[in-house]
Chains A and B, each alone.
Chain A
Amino acid sequence: MELIYLIAIAAVLVFGIGVVVLNRRRSAAAPAPAPKAAAPRPVKPPPPAKDGTAAAAVRAEPEHVPEPLDLGGERPTFRSRMSKARSALTGTLLGIRSRTGITTETWDDLEEALLRADVGVRVTDELLDGLRTRVKAKEIIEPGALLDALQAEMVSRLDGADRELHLEPGPADEPNVWLFVGVNGVGKTTTIGKVSALQAQAGVSVLMAAGDTFRAAAAEQLTTWAERSGAEIVRGKEGGDPSSVIFDGIERAAAKGIQLVLADTAGRLHNKTNLMDELRKVRRVAEKGRGRVTEVLLVIDATTGQNGLTQAREFGAATNVGTEGSGVTGVVLTKLDGSAKGGIVFAIETELGLPVKLVGLGETINDLVPFDPTEFVDALVTLD
């Protein structure tokens, strides 16, 4: 309570004063600007527009997106799909290998390679400090051995995590619920579509709950995926309450004996208090009915920089049902087939203990694969 008083008071004071002082200064130099009209920020999204043309537009489009049965062929390898990401580091790694010994440049190159992969300053320092000690102790002498040691160290940092997606058996009227969360534009809806197709393929009955009631046409996008993967879908009104849409979805699944509910949520920036509160409610309500939340998957875009760590922390806190720890049970790393390297997962796994469970290596359904640390690190730092 004290803290709240303090914050309220401090903030009010600082603002009041800041405004006044600045106004005074400005008016000393120039006539004071007229205060602009106050427009209170709405907490709720703007009212939805009635969509009449939806159906036509949706049907018209998908062209490059796979048809229901086209799963995209074989499971892709990290190496083949991450080739664009790899090529950026190849020069640096070649430079290291071509030198006869381990020099200052070697360390600079290594550092640069790791930083370029978005591994982040802290993890990079830790990795390199460990290696430096071993080089000093003459444990490692050759540049080749140094790279191998780095690779082993990186893999061992990702070792031992539980990367299973939990689908717990139970009574037919108690569906598993997998909740997908993340910031805007990371690929939540697409990921749900693919997960749905993969689960359906594995013989699991799926229902999608279109909890993204904010972004225009998000539900249409999800519906397209539902049709393709043969899943049921529950939609609400645009601008409606996401908790109730997801609750309805779970109840419908329970009534029909559907095993798995995939719940979409609107993308939200993790520093928006009101939106994160909304997510807290979604998480709470998801367990109010007959379902059990067995996964909360945080979707992160591989291009994300150091902010990814903050995202993981904040979404973890918001989806947590107890008082401590993270509510997020796993990370889905999308768009790893671009030129980004996704190095932020090292920090997310080691500092927050959140395992990466799935990675997106391409557009087709089969391109969403389980995360494999060895393959991932190998694709990042091994030369052909």
Chain B
Amino acid sequence: MFDSLSSRLEGIVKRLRGKGRLTEDDVDEMLKEIRTALLEADVNVGVVRNVVGRIREQAIGARLSEVLDPGQQVIKIVNAELTAMLGGETLKIHYASRPPTVILMAGLQGSGKTTSSAKLARWFKGQGRQPLLVGADLQRPAAVEQLRTLGRQIDVPVFSQPGDPVETAKRGLEEARRLGRDVLIVDTAGRLAIDAELMEQVRQISSVIQPNYTFLVIDAMTGQDAVGVAEAFHNTLAIDGVILSKLDGDARGGAALSVKEVIGRPIAFASTGEKLTEFDQFHPDRMAGRILGMGDVLTLIEQAEQHFEKDQAEKAAERLMEGEFTLEDFLEQMQSLKKMGPLGNLMGMMPGMPKEMKDAQIGDDQLKPIEAIINSMTPLERRKPELINGSRRNRIATGSGTTVGDVNRLVKQFAEMQKMMKRFGGMAKQQRGKGKKGKGGGRAMPGLPGGFPGMPGGFPGMPGGPTQLGQGLPGAPGGFGPFN
């Protein structure tokens, strides 16, 4: 799809090499790339103008010509600016002293209000609260039924009654008091933001239930219109926070930045998957890299943490660097990896993966032959593939339903890879020895977005060119040249 901003800036910097110093024109050329990247991420035109202006001031002030790597320097400035704009603080929910804490959900048609309502209810439940959902969307056919079904799935009661939505919301509030539920979430009808009648309806609901929090649900795929929508709702309802839905798509989500900037309210929650559990408080620090098209490494690593056996992974990595990584290790790791979701998704989240790989339609089924081959080996063969002779090869091929050629290829490639790993493993160790590690330890990982400069050949994005080891994910192999 889009080249990442990082690789574009690298392109400019490459052309500038040898010039010795950066002129203001050079900076402007970089700013133009930044502007394009932001616009392609759907950041609002007006917001882009302001951001680029601020970045320009800083970039010029930073005396880029004197630093070793001006491209990286610019990216750092951009990243810091975007992170600051998105807001460092996560919204802290203050519960009403006299329960229930009332929450009103508003948003456009199809933005994901009903699903977000249920996910939010589940989140509150996880916080030890007892929510009640109210279905006041009496307009869309079956909206209430959808909410009821979701309510059953998360075991949260749902109140609704036909007729007038305002009356329904009011009764819902009474119901919450009667049942002693301490959080009330009111789902309202979707609207086009400009429909005066429906806007009036949601305003009336708001004045009747007096919400403690009013959340605006915004689709992460929204384009330039996000700002207008947010302003319209904010003027009518006084929005307290935004819930960003469908963030598990591949949209860059520039809308989040725009809305935050224009109404000055934080992104409170983000929905990261179809499952009702895939919903959490928003992490602004990760969004900057995503808007710039630089992958979402932190989310990836967090997922990996959940699904990989820590000890196993650690041992495997250790063996890897020694060049003793076995097919058994590989199988174990691959099985963990598969738990993290479809391979295609993971590829999408990897920063700097080359286009050919991202575009390759790899279904998890396609990995099955590999698994089958390894599964048909004896444990000893997995540890020492060099033992595999003609008759063993035949047995493995028959057992896995593949051909002898397939088995051969796997074993050969694995051996090549092992060699390479050893080489890079050694390099990584050297680097680690130099003690460059302090920097990337924090949650924000300041060096990260800049850590994947366009590495020529092989896997351009794989972190770990010797000069960058202190920033990205040190120790990772630097390239797989011979395989390409």
Using Cβ atoms and an 8 Å threshold, which residues of chain B touch A21? 317, 473-476
Q: List 5 A-B contacts (CB under 8 A).
A: A15-B300, A112-B45, A185-B110, A270-B249, A306-B251
Do A272 and B342 have beta carbons less than 8 Å apart? yes
Evaluate whether A13 and B320 lie within 8 angstroms (CB atoms) in the complex, with A57-B148, A340-B225 already known: yes
Task: Decide if B149 touches A41 in the complex (CB within 8 Å).
Answer: no
Contact yes or no, B141 A269, CB < 8 A: no
A273 contacts B473, C-beta separation under 8 Å = no
> Which residues of the other chain, B, contact A23 by a CB distance below 8 angstroms?
305, 310, 314
Residues of A within 8 A of B250 (CB): 269-271, 307, 310
Is B42 in contact with A307, judged by CB distance below 8 angstroms? yes
Chain B contacts with A in 101-142, Cβ cutoff 8 A:
108-112, 138-142
Option from A20, A65, A116, A220 in Cβ contact (under 8 Å) with B313: A20
Smallest Cβ distance from A323 to chain B, in angstroms?
11
Mark each residue of chain A from 1 to 32: 1 if its CB lies under 8 Å from any CB of chain B, else 0: 11111111111111111111111011011001
- Stretch from B3-11, B60-68, B282-290, B362-370 forming part of the interface with A: B362-370
A interface footprint on B196-222 (CB within 8 Å = 1, 0 otherwise):
000000000000000000000001011
- Cβ contact within 8 Å between B441 and A25: yes
A352 within 8 A of B: no
A199 to B459, CA, bound (A): 52
- Whether the pair A35, B475 counts as a contact (CB closer than 8 A) is no
Query: Is A305 interfacial (CB 8 A cutoff)?
Result: yes
Contact call A11/B223, Cβ cutoff below 8 A: no
A277: CB under 8 A from chain B? yes
Residues of chain A contacted by B317 (CB below 8 angstroms)? 16-17, 20-21
Q: Number of B residues whose C-beta is below 8 Å from A?
A: 116
Q: A21-B475, A305-B251 are in contact. Are A63 and B139 (CB under 8 A)?
A: yes
C-alpha gap A128/B125 in the complex (Å): 53
Q: Which residues of A contact B145 (CB under 8 A)?
A: 51, 53-54, 57-58, 216-217, 220
The residue from B41, B141, B142, B146 contacting A306, defined by CB atoms under 8 A apart? B41
Fill in one digit per residue for A237-277: 1 if any B CB lies within 8 Å of its CB, else 0. 01000000000000000000000000000000111111001
**Shortest CB–CB separation between residue B66 and chain A, in angstroms?**
30
B39 and A115: CB pair below 8 A? yes
In the complex, given contacts A16-B317, A269-B246, what are 10 additional A-B residue pairs having Cβ atoms less than 8 angstroms apart? A7-B360, A8-B370, A13-B421, A15-B337, A16-B320, A45-B274, A185-B219, A272-B345, A306-B41, A341-B225
A28 near B301 with CB under 8 A, answer no
**Interface membership of chain A positions 313-340, coded 1 if the CB is closer than 8 angstroms to chain B and 0 otherwise:** 0000100000000000000000101111
Is the C-beta of A369 less than 8 angstroms from some C-beta in chain B?
no
**A226 CA to B221 CA, complexed, in Å:** 30
The answer on a CB contact under 8 Å between A11 and B146 is: no
Interface residues in A, total, Cβ within 8 A: 101
B420 CB to nearest A CB, Å? 10
In whole angstroms, what is the CA distance A337 to B225 when docked?
13
- Is B58 on the interface with A (CB-CB < 8 A)? no
| Chain B: minimal CB distance from A274 (Å) | 5
Please tell me if the beta carbons of A3 and B251 are within 8 angstroms of each other in the complex: no
Contact B306 A39 (CB under 8 A): yes
A33 and B304 CA atoms in complex are apart in Å by 13
Q: Is the CB of B343 within 8 A of A273?
A: yes
* Chain A residues in 8 Å Cβ range of B437: 25, 28
B330-341 vs A, Cβ < 8 Å mask (1 yes, 0 no): 100110110111
Tell whether B361 is near chain A: CB-to-CB under 8 Å. Answer: yes
B1 to A, closest residue via Cβ:
A310
A12: chain B residues at CB < 8 Å are 330, 333-334, 337
Query: Is A184 positioned at the interface, with any CB of B under 8 Å from its CB?
Result: yes
**Distance in Å: Cβ of A27 to nearest Cβ of chain B:** 10
Q: Residue of B at shortest CB range from A307? A: B251
Cross-chain contact A121 with B39 (CB below 8 angstroms): yes
Does A64 lie at the interface of the complex (its beta carbon under 8 Å from any beta carbon of B)? yes
How many Å lie between the Cα of A357 and that of B162 in the bound state?
36
Are B363 and A273 in contact (CB-based, < 8 A)? yes
Across chains A and B, which 9 residue pairs bring their CB atoms closest together, nearest first? A305-B223, A185-B110, A60-B162, A216-B149, A305-B42, A273-B342, A273-B344, A217-B145, A307-B251
A5 & B473 in contact (Cβ 8 Å cutoff): no
